[in-house]
Amino acid sequence: MPTPSPVDLIISKRDGGSLSPEDITALIDAYTDGSVPDYQLSAFLMASFLQGFNEEETAALTRAMLHSGTVLDLKHIDGIKVDKHSTGGVGDKVSLILAPVVAACGVPVPMISGRGLGHTGGTLDKLESIPNFRTDLSIATYEQQLKELGIVMIGQTAEIAPADRKLYALRDVTGTVEFIPFIAASIMSKKLAEGIDALVLDVKSGAGAFMKSEDQARTLAETLVSIGEQFGKDTVALMTRMDEPLGRAVGNWPEMHESIACLKNETEGLEDLMEVTLALAGEMLYLGGVAENPAEGKQQAADSIASGAAFDTFVAMVGAQGGDTSVLQMPESRPDTDPVATVEATAEASGYVEAINAYDIGMTAVRMGAGRRVKEDKVDPTAGLVLHKKVGEKAEAGEPLATLYTRKNNVATFQKAILNSYQFSSSPSQRPPMLLGRYTAAGWDE
């Protein structure tokens, strides 16, 4: 039987049909090698977005994207290799703290991360705010460093899931980003290609997340875990809240500075950030076989910070990847990090902080130079802001709400935007819990 043409597959999906794994693989392979043009794949993406994918199609898409390039084999490296992925948020610098914490406890962490796009930041941009830090290591160097240090953090190479790189760019310009099967296949194809044995997922829900509702986040968590289990990887998802920025810093160097403080056990006022980080660490150490359960893993993670082992591991990784380790010891020594302005509470905008719109904060940080509105934009590694008041805290008129770091000229516009991101009330509101649920192949554990 002849292989269906791209037009046949587009029509089948347009009319509500289900495609076989072989058809999906053939289409993705042809698009990756250039045989199928963007305009045909665009039609396929939209037809799929409108008609939906079933579980088999989602797994087939993941497999096709995974095998479009190199799938790493890390069996020669001792230990259970565990990674973490976040679905993105504002102020989400968890990976910068989490990876060295877990590695310091004896679980190898091979982490291939992405860059910021839209209102969310990217781990690579944050790492590259350390002067001279390299994220473009070869696969051979990636494997060697993981073997020697137990930790490596790089960007996606040309060999890893090239179909995902092409498809992501096309989804971004065809209005098909917010489709859970596409999101899941994109995430899991890259993570499965890393050579990991297990994966922990941080699925965000709220105003600053891509999944705005808890129902959407639950569906995504279930889809991601299902794919991981189908591919033989132990997979756990934590659903976490993303309504206000995580921690207090937003931007690349501001978030790196805050992460360094956390690794040095300077965590006052950063309880939300550490709650999420330690919960994810507990899961990773449990899957990595060094803890009897996630609670024990969480305690091990906290101990690695208190002892200094996690910070030492981070310094070793930064040094191995060419970064200037002196700014880790003395973050204030990094050049071009002087603040340019503050945002103060006013008589009309003061009282107890009831809410901070994470999306608005994230977009303001992007306009200040901390992120990209299109993929070609260059980021200012030192741009961003630090919040001095968060939900439940009181702000008197004249007190600082935020400190701004930018080289842009329209500072007054940024100040107004940050002030407008705050909502106040006359009485304190209790901050809701950060952890909304835990999902494994056995189901939800609220």
Does the pLDDT value for residue 35 go beyond 90? yes
* 274 vs 317: CA distance, rounded Å: 21
Q: In the predicted model, what is the mean pLDDT of residues 269-293?
A: 98
Q: Using 50, 70 and 90 to split pLDDT, how confident is the model at 430?
A: confident
What pLDDT score does 117 carry? 67
Q: What is the mean pLDDT of the chain?
A: 94
If we measure between CA atoms, which residue out of 56, 98, 332, 120 comes closest to residue 238?
A: 98
Q: In the predicted model, what is the mean pLDDT of residues 385-391?
A: 97
Topology annotation, domain 6-52: 1.20.970
**Active site (catalytic) residues:** 85, 164, 171, 186, 190
Cβ atoms 16, 51 nearer than 8 A = yes
What pLDDT score does 2 carry? 63
The amino acid occupying position 7 is: V
Relative to beta strand 351-356, strand 422-425 is: antiparallel
* 389 vs 302: CA distance, rounded Å: 25
Q: In the predicted model, what is the mean pLDDT of residues 289-318?
A: 98
pTM for this entry: 0.93
Q: In the predicted model, what is the mean pLDDT of residues 169-194?
A: 90
Describe the chain by its helix, strand, coil percentages, rounded to 5.
45, 15, 40
Tokens of 64: 């096709």
In the CATH hierarchy, which top-level class contains the domain 335-425? alpha beta
Q: pLDDT, tens digit, for every residue of 332-344?
A: 999 999 999 999 9
Does the pLDDT value for residue 237 go beyond 80? yes
In the CATH hierarchy, which top-level class contains the domain 82-330+435-445? alpha beta
If we measure between CA atoms, which residue out of 340, 335, 331 comes closest to residue 368?
A: 340
Domain segments of the chain: what residues?
6-52, 82-330+435-445, 335-425
Q: Is 352 helix (H, G, I), strand (E, B) or coil?
A: strand
Cβ atoms 150, 78 nearer than 8 A = no
Q: In the predicted model, what is the mean pLDDT of residues 177-194?
A: 92
Tokens of 318: 């930064």
Tokens 């977009």 sit on residue = 363
